[in-house]
A and B are shown apart, each in its own frame.
Chain A
Amino acid sequence: MTSLPEPSAIKLGLVIDLDICVGCQACVVNCKEWNTSGYGAPLSDENAYGENPSGAWLNRVHAYEAGTGADARTVHFPKSCLHCEDAPCVKVCPTGASFKRAEDGIVLVNEEWCIGCGLCAWSCPYGAREMDPSEGVMKKCTLCVDRIYNANLPAEDQVPACVRTCPTNARHFGDLGDPGSDVSRLVAARGGFDLMPEQNTKPVNKYLPPRPRRVADDTPVSLLAMAEDATPSGFWKWVDSTLERLG
């Protein structure tokens, strides 16, 4: 059924810290690595070693400059499916291949049913869905549904591949439906926000804004003054006065 389920109590999703992400692309690569051999068909590439390589990826990292002049800053911006509460991609799907899980809110594609019409990708404001070039079915972030519930993996690996791999801890995974969860508290503390709220998709994933700049004291420090100000004490005072006496 592509009608949306009642909003679930558990809303699994990601919180991405734009203050910390350094744009290293490790999450992008590990996402591809895990998902090319996990849920559904492999994520194929076309012309991978040629002039214009392309292929299906579920996570992409943009880079933006925000602000002007001395206050401008570079913000690396990872983007994947936001597992929207009011997911348009699910509602437009004619086959029932796109669905939102009633138990945890994860949005998935049943690749056995997908006809590859592409309408779901058209309906997603964020560009979170990409057609697989060789399989002709729609691919999207699964929130690593085959890791997070996988009891065969050690506990620390039971998180999405991107979260596990991020070297800077810019990515957090958890239940955003529970106000007491670590991720919900992080969102509350840092003023986490939705992408394109005007599209009324009610994303579950949240983004944390870059922290305000710390204003540095900008009077230049003089090393000479520091050196002259220094009055030695103890042994160094004796050395100092002896040397001075010597002339």
Chain B
Amino acid sequence: MRPAWSIIFFTSISGLGFGLAAWLVLGFVDLTNPEHLLVVGVATMALIIAGLLSSTFHLGHPERAWRALTQWRSSWLSREGVLAVLALIAMAVWGLYYIRHGTPPFWASGLIAVLLALTVYATSMIYASLHTVARWHHPLTPVCYLMFAASSGLMAVLSVLAVLGQKIGAPLLLATILMVASAWGVKIIWWQLAGAVGSGSSLATATGLGDLGPVRSIMPPHTSENYLQHEMGFVVARKHAAQLRAIALLVGGVLPMAALFLLAAAPLVLTMALAAHMAGIFIERWLFFAEAKHSVTIYYGDAH
């Protein structure tokens, strides 16, 4: 599948925003100072909105994007949109309540955190629900998305704490390291398991000619690349995939964890560590698309 930058940016940056928002409503940052609440709140919402906006860049008709909120009964893409809008509204209400009456009741904050997690889940299900891409159609796919939203959100919490001059306790530091480690751990398992069994589709089932013996493509239906091949025929070479996985792990996992472990507390280090973590997630997301094979490529003679 072609890795479109708008989609990579959308899934990783909105994931970061939703993750950070969840930790904020759960009270990981002291927001009693209304100025802090405003700055942090607006920044978080800006991340989410930037992500959502970038997802409209690849549309043929972005001006009709509102229509995507209508089919939540059947479509995960639509559910993602609806949940994201609800989450943004809930966050705004939460912030206003905080300014007027102080910390909102925990059940309300908890509900908002669940709503934020559901939104990330819906993002992942856009891909995980597709039978046509065997690699994505795996129960661990949503777990990967949720884990990275949580880990990048928590890394962002550390940066916010440092910037606001609030104390970062050793338990929080340790929890963040564990969170980053387990997010990449799940990803490594996903890299091993997802798509390993294939879709069960082959040129024999695609053409129904399997009974005659082996089937091979001898002539494509057109002389140059078409939309299908451009969108769905992109597969990164295996060798590069292995190297890129290693780079993603190193930059997005090892580096930030080492930084937290050795030099935590300096705002600059924490922000750099967050940036490294995000860079790793970008590469991971690029691979998520680039390594994925769509069943239509079978018709063009690709082995699955």
Interface residues on A, range: 35 or more
Give Cα A69–Cα B60 distance, bound, in whole angstroms. 48
Cross-chain contact B131 with A199 (CB below 8 angstroms): yes
Q: Is B239 an interface residue (CB 8 A)?
A: no
Q: Is B32 an interface residue (CB 8 A)?
A: no
Of B70, B132, B231, the contact of A125 (CB 8 Å cutoff): B132
Interface string of B71-90 (1 = CB under 8 A from A): 10111111001000000000
Segment at the B interface, from A113-121, A172-180, A219-227: A113-121
| Count of inter-chain pairs, beta carbons less than 8 A | 202
Give Cα A1–Cα B67 distance, bound, in whole angstroms. 12
Of B70, B207, B215, the contact of A195 (CB 8 Å cutoff): B207
The A contact surface, by secondary structure, is loop
Cβ contacts under 8 Å, B126 to chain A: 92, 119
Of A28, A66, A67, the contact of B207 (CB 8 Å cutoff): A66
Segment at the A interface, from B143-151, B159-167, B195-203, B242-250: B195-203
Interface string of B216-243 (1 = CB under 8 A from A): 1111111111111011100000000000
Q: Is A149 an interface residue (CB 8 A)?
A: no
Give Cα A22–Cα B69 distance, bound, in whole angstroms. 46
The count of residues in chain B whose C-beta lies closer than 8 Å to any C-beta of chain A is 60
Q: Is A193 an interface residue (CB 8 A)?
A: yes
Give Cα A71–Cα B299 distance, bound, in whole angstroms. 22
Q: Is A135 an interface residue (CB 8 A)?
A: yes
Residues of A at the B interface (CB closer than 8 Å) are: 1-4, 18, 23, 28, 51-57, 60-68, 71-75, 77, 79, 88, 90-97, 113-119, 121-127, 130-133, 135-137, 193-200, 207, 209-210
User: Can you list 21 A-B contacts with CB-CB less than 8 angstroms, sorted by A residue number?
Assistant: A57-B226, A62-B220, A66-B214, A88-B130, A92-B130, A94-B77, A95-B64, A115-B64, A115-B65, A121-B228, A122-B1, A122-B132, A123-B131, A127-B299, A135-B60, A136-B59, A196-B201, A196-B205, A199-B295, A207-B208, A209-B208
